[in-house]
Amino acid sequence: MKVGNYALQSGNFETMKQFLSDELLPAKLAFLQSVAMQLEPFLTLFQVEKLLLPFLHSEYYHLINSIAHRFVRKATMDKINNACHISELNVDDVNNLKKMRKVDIGFAAVNACKSMKEGAVLTFRRECRQFFILLFKKMNQKFSLNNATVKGESCLSPSVMLSSVKQSYRFCYLGAHAERCNIWHKW
């Protein structure tokens, strides 16, 4: 491409030219926006200077559970009823995953795909499912719901305090973690 007397030949220009010529661009942007809208409330909630550690465990469980619902089969999700189960979910097993047509890519992405060829849409849905798998793995790798400190600190959450069994279990969990880390002797 020429602009005036100059020919644009940089690698960045070629990448952008190829990106803008992609017929799936509107669908891809809509899909990423739906994922961002799902993640943003969690990120916004915990980027404040308030003590929110007691709520981290339950909020993170709800977030990762809602992401899993978008690409994991309903029968598999029905078996998951606590944080340990979702942490142990094997997303590499194809039997646990939804079929390509059932993956939740978001309403706007579905609308953007209506005018496209069936093969391109299935490839796009496969890429979206792969994105969800990688996102789920990365979230579990970076932050485990079985993290002793976070799970133990949740005993201070009002919803856990109302359940004496849960509170006792989480408080004991925190105490055992503190004992393993030799925290009590520092006080």
pLDDT digits (tens, 9 = 90+) for 32-45: 999 999 999 999 99
Q: Of 88, 52, 87, 94, whose CA–CA distance to 73 is shortest?
A: 94
The Cα 83–Cα 101 span in angstroms is 28
pLDDT digits (tens, 9 = 90+) for 136-160: 999 988 887 766 666 666 666 666 6
Q: Average of pLDDT values for 166-171?
A: 59
- How many other CB atoms are there within 10 angstroms of residue 9's CB atom? 8
Judge whether residue 169 has pLDDT over 60: no
The Cα 52–Cα 153 span in angstroms is 10
Q: What is the pLDDT of residue 145?
A: 73
The token pair that represents 106 in the structure block? 């978001």
